[in-house]
Amino acid sequence: MYFPKGTLEMGTPGKFSKTEVIHILIAMAVLTSAFAFPLSQSRLLFGGFHLNAWVFSLPISFFALLTAFFVHELSHKFMAQKYGLWSEFRMFLGGLVFSLLLALFTGLVFAAPGAVMFRGETRTFEMGKIAAAGSFANILIAAVTFPLYTYVFFETAFIGKILGFVCAVNALLATFNLIPIGSLDGAKVIRWNGIAWALLFIAALVLTILILPRLPYFLFH
């Protein structure tokens, strides 16, 4: 059982505590900075740090993280609140520091920002729906941004790059989280409903396969 600091009042769906807001803002800032390194081809080892390119990449990174990480975690939170649970995001400071340093020195990102914590008794179907909510939101965003990027804004450099990267990050995040092992969301979803898990995983995997060949464009142009 997780025993959180700060408020334990469940409140109405959509309610945030001051502690939670601080954790979300820190996590968003760190991840936005970290993802801007591969986008700008900047790193301290085996390359160089390109300040202008890194700054230019920050808004692209921010929109991707806003739609992927933020929406993913809030979907968990709101679904848990729907079932009457205390639910708030808590950052994982060690994971954030590791993500930022790895990106700074190597240009690679391994995101471990934290997670939505909840407290209260849950039934299997409630746990499954809470777990599925995050990846379902990512799949919807990827499904909307993929045709916009592919058929509308592909040749529009800045907007196209934002939409393409948003699609890629959301599709990859959903696919990874739906792997049914350990503490990942997929393990909880499959215990609740194997068909629902299969549909979500196939949708996420198809979107990842479609967008992945285009990933070098986001990273190297």
Residues with catalytic function: 73
Smallest CA-to-CA distance from 208 within 152, 118, 158, 135 is with: 135
Residue reference for tokens 């299969």: 198
Note the Cα 165 to chain centre separation in Å: 12
Q: What tokens appear for 208 in the block?
A: 């990842």
- Rounded CA-CA distance 115/139 in Å is 19
Q: What angle do CA 104, 109, 114 make, to 5 degrees?
A: 110
Residues facing 117 on adjacent strands: 88
* DSSP state string for 39-93: HTT--SSSS---HHHHHHHHHHHHHHHIIIIIHHHHHHHHHHHHTT-EEEEEE-H
Q: What angle do CA 41, 32, 51 make, to 5 degrees?
A: 40
Coil, helix or strand at residue 117:
strand
